[in-house]
Amino acid sequence: MPHRNAPLSETGRLRLARCVVDDGWPLRRAAERFQVSPTTAKRWADRYRQSGAAGMADRSSRPHTSPRRTPTRTERRIIKVRVSRRWGPARMAALLRLNPRHRAPGPGPLPPQPAELDGPRDRTGDPTV
């Protein structure tokens, strides 16, 4: 089943590809007729040339790899805390020492801040020297 935004079904893609490859239609004309971009029409025609009618089948949009995926060990730790304590992401991140925004190991607690330039500030907020 194609997703909601797919302009054509498998049958429509096959008809478009046959018009271009078998009947010799120009890509732009076929794209206009089937209401897709010329780039999409070319992609389907090339796929039809390479794989025939089987190449028109729906393909998964799932990526082949996920190089930035959260490590399995970290996922298990998150799930364990989520189930046992029912905390939200900010508290879990603090407990597990993770950066809640990027889901990557964080530096842990922040170090104490140094005194503000070792001197008082005047009314404008600039340090007095």
Indicate the burial class of 46 (C-beta count within 10 angstroms; 0-12, 13-18, 19 or more): middle
Q: What is the mean pLDDT of residues 58-74?
A: 86
Question: Can you give the pTM of this predicted structure?
Answer: 0.50
What 3-state class would DSSP assign to 98? Answer: strand
Residue 43 confidence (pLDDT): 94
- Count the Cβ atoms, other than its own, within 10 Å of residue 11: 10
Residue positions counted in the chain:
129
- 18-37 burial, b for 16+ CB within 10 Å, e for fewer? bbbbeeebebeebbeebebe
Residue 19 has pLDDT above 90, yes or no: yes
Mean confidence (pLDDT) of the chain: 79
